[in-house]
Amino acid sequence: MSGTTSGRTMSERRGWGRLRTAAAWTAVGAWGAWALVRLTGADRLPGIEIPSAPLLAITPYVVAAAPVPITAALLLRRWRAAAVAGVVAAGLLVAVVPRAVGGGDPVARGPVLRVLTANLLLGGADPARLVDLVRRTKADVLSLQELPPEGVDRYERAGLTGLLPEKALDARPGAAGSGLYSRHPLRVLPPLPGTELAMPRAELTLPGGRRVEMTAVHPVPPIDTVSFRAWKRDLAVLPSARPAVAAAGGRAHAPGDGPVRILAGDFNATLDHANLRRLIGRGYADAADRAGAGLVPTWGLDDPRPALTIDHVLVDRRCAVGEVEVHDLEGSDHRAVFAEVRLP
């Protein structure tokens, strides 16, 4: 009788041990799969890219919860699982934490350009607040998204063109319109081919003759198969930054050779999306990332969903980035992003 009881106890212990092992490694596997996709850029692979796009946007929150599998493994006394969970957490931390640290600016001695971008939520953002932001930041150029025709009238009546008289607009109903306003002369450039929403481009000329090409960026959010394909295509057609070395003869560009390119707007993407990182790899730097403000959320602060950093100012990587600020904008579900950029 005692042997049977002992046998049952031993069997139960083994079963409980297997259950603890499975629980520990399941937690490690969940975080490990996330880290694998994020660190390898596997969200660009067919079959993975569409479902992973909305998920990867919350990677900073997954990183914040990285102690969970480590703690679970330790409590379950599964030491190897805890060690692997620590390696996974370290990899995720390396991918995300540098955004809050900043650094990596090159030496730049050109003029300063102050860039402000704001998504207006179908033109509902408060005109007085927007104009006040332009005035307080002393913005030289403003990129606006979700700019309908009636919104143009509201913002200009509030005094926007008194501060930024030059404009390149493609105002459309609903969320489709965008525009650029500038205190410096603008020359409208040909539109990008085939974008789902308006993304106007213009070349502005600073005092002294330096030129900067600006694009107001607004691809559709990648929330389903159709919109994902449009989002991916729109990011891909955005222009590359001016290369540091001329294609012909390998001649290095002098600071005044050609315009510097800056992309500003609502990218509907975070730095955890491989498609955005691929665009940045074509000669850009994220201004907030350079300034240590890359984890400050710009969208969704009033939603039950996690707030995300999807509004960006991407600058030619030869530029230096000074102050970066994120401002609340009444009437919009986005926050405005300001970046002080020194040209090469």
Residue from 157, 156, 176 nearest 166 by CA: 156
pLDDT in tens, 20-39: 888 888 889 999 999 999 99
Question: pLDDT tens digit string along 163-212?
Answer: 999 999 999 999 999 999 999 999 999 999 999 999 999 999 999 999 99
Rounded Cα gap, residues 205 and 329, in angstroms: 28
Q: What is the end-to-end Cα distance of the chain in Å, rounded? A: 86
Cα 241 to Cα 303: distance, rounded to the nearest angstrom: 35
Residue range 105-342 in CATH 3.30.420.40: no
Counting every residue written for the chain, the total comes to 344
Residues of the chain with CATH 3.60.10.10: 105-342
247 — pLDDT class (breaks 50, 70, 90): very low
Share of the chain above pLDDT 90, in %: 81
Which distant-in-sequence residues (6+ apart) come within 8 Å of 174 by Cβ? 122, 146, 148
Specify whether the CB–CB gap between 289 and 95 falls below 8 A. no
Whether 293 and 318 have beta carbons less than 8 Å apart is answered as no
C-alpha–C-alpha distance, residues 259 and 239, integer Å: 12
Q: pLDDT at residue 307 above 50?
A: yes
Q: Is 208 helix (H, G, I), strand (E, B) or coil?
A: coil
Provide the pLDDT confidence category of residue 9 given band limits of 50, 70 and 90. confident
Distant-in-sequence, close-in-space partners of 94: CB < 8 Å, separation ≥ 6 = none
Q: How is the beta sheet containing 141-145 ordered, strand by strand? A: 166-170, 178-182, 141-145, 112-119, 336-342, 320-327
The residue that leads in pLDDT, 255 or 88, is: 88
pLDDT value of residue 249? 41
Q: Which residue has the higher pLDDT, 303 or 28?
A: 28
Percent of the chain with pLDDT over 70: 92
Q: Find out whether 131 and 158 touch, Cβ atoms under 8 Å.
A: yes
Which residue type is seen at 225?
A: T
What's the rounded mean pLDDT across residues 89-102? 95
Q: What residues contact residue 10 under an 8 Å CB cut-off, 6+ apart? A: none
95 in helix, strand or coil?
helix
pLDDT at res. 246:
37
CA dihedral (34, 40, 45, 51) in degrees, to 10, reads 20
Confidence of residue 257 (pLDDT cuts 50, 70, 90): low
